[in-house]
Amino acid sequence: MAELNGSDRAVDFASLRKDFPLLAREVNGHPITYLDSAASSQRPFQVLDAMRQYDETTHANVHRGVYGIAEEATRRFEAARINVGRFIGAPDPSREVVFAKNATECLNLVARTWGRTHCHAGDTVVLTEMEHHANIVPWHMLAAERGLHLRWVPIDDDGALILDDLEQLLDGAKLLALTCMSNVLGTLNPVRRIADLAHAAGAVVVADGAQSVPHLPTDVASLGVDFLAFSAHKMLGPTGIGVLWGREELLSELPPFLGGGEMILDVRKDGFTPNDIPWRFEAGTPPITEAVGLGAAVDYLDDIGMESIRAHEITLTTYAMAALTERFGSDIHIFGPKDAAERGGVLSFTFRDVHPHDISQILDQYGVCVRAGHHCAKPLMRRLGVNSTARASFALYNDETDVDTLVQALDAAGAFFR
């Protein structure tokens, strides 16, 4: 990608596809059409090579050894932290970026530390109807433990949050948890506007960025939230590492999450003294190779430019919605906003009365990988009045050909279940 520099050049997205080795394989005798990046994205050579190079030349445990490669490993690990922080506009990347297992663990971390410190019997936490289970269950657990009330921001039939009564919902609330982008509807929420109202009500704002950070330019300062969680494996990086960004003044007053090595300054028979942030929240040996991979993924995304990626995905989503609607008309129902500029590249749909499982099974015969199920958003499924949907989701390596293949495979599924 050496030819890519500057911010005004046109990116040749078709040429990027060859960076992703998995996309060269076949499935059931067909070239793979990978349309499940909202579940997990594929990795480019640049990420795979960086991890392999680190493992082959540099690996040692971090923050411990005084010997050369241990110091180098620590430097690589902490450099990844800075890199990720810079990628999301963190004011103080070295202190505000916490590594955990995935976005889910990050959200649990906030519930267990901030939540347990600040939420007491009778307090209220506000969620939205479109949350992923990862941003619901930790709050259910905290609510059960502490005797909290949960309130829900409803959605309308187009999959947008209904904000008319938001101020009443936020009245007296301690915390608001919301997704930046729905993993089912694709809806992009007006996070800044909501966060400002939450802050005016005295609530802290926890944002789930698992779907938005990989696909949109992210700047935590302009988002206006207090915590932001996301996963590496949805942004071209490896599994096993997620990121929690938190405002420095909030993180620094929180108790530790898990106990163990790395998170302490001192341990005595009569107690322990926790480490400074961010290591206070990183008990035990962290995912070091994975951090290197995440850093490389961020570099890869930066080289292309998040604005370009967003523009590419809007174009592709517009094309897909038009192609599916043109071919299938009222036989297909696509959930979420109609305007691609108001949504991410996630298309959940139902197709006639064919069950999403059956759709996915037939599509797989043509090498087309789509998700079928409740997408870990059962409250949303109930609101939509369905048990499950099929979902096609895009990343920077998808193109119009993938959409055409989806349409043809769906046509075949329709013929099969006629």
Residues noted as catalytic = 376
Give the 3-state secondary structure of residue 371.
Answer: strand
Q: Under a CB-based contact definition with an 8 Å cutoff, are residues 389 and 335 in contact?
A: yes
User: Residues 189-228: x/- map of binding to another protein (CB under 8 A)?
Assistant: ----------------------------------------
Asked whether position 40 contacts another protein by CB under 8 A, the answer is: no
List the interface residues with another protein, window 389-418 (CB under 8 A): 408-409, 411-412, 415-417
Q: Which residues 6+ apart lie within 8 Å of 353 measured at CB?
A: none
* d(C-alpha 337, C-alpha 380), whole Å: 15
Closest CA to 386 of 396, 397, 395, 377: 377
User: Residues 325-364: x/- map of binding to another protein (CB under 8 A)?
Assistant: ------------------------------xxxx--xx--
Encoded amino acid at 395, one letter = A
Beta carbon nearer to another protein, 117 or 361: 361
Beta carbon nearer to another protein, 72 or 404: 404
Asked whether position 379 contacts another protein by CB under 8 A, the answer is: no
List the interface residues with another protein, window 266-305 (CB under 8 A): none
Torsion sign, CA atoms 270, 275, 279, 281 = positive
* d(C-alpha 237, C-alpha 50), whole Å: 11
Closest CA to 247 of 139, 116, 97, 104: 97
Piece of 34-42, 115-123, 268-276, 370-378 that binds another protein (CB under 8 A): 370-378
Shortest Å, Cβ 41 to another protein: 21
What are the residues facing 175 on neighbouring strands? 125, 204
Asked whether position 27 contacts another protein by CB under 8 A, the answer is: no
Q: Under a CB-based contact definition with an 8 Å cutoff, are residues 55 and 64 in contact?
A: no
Shortest Å, Cβ 329 to another protein: 19
Footprint of another protein (CB under 8 A): 28-31, 355-358, 361-362, 365-366, 372-374, 378, 381, 387-388, 408-409, 411-412, 415-417
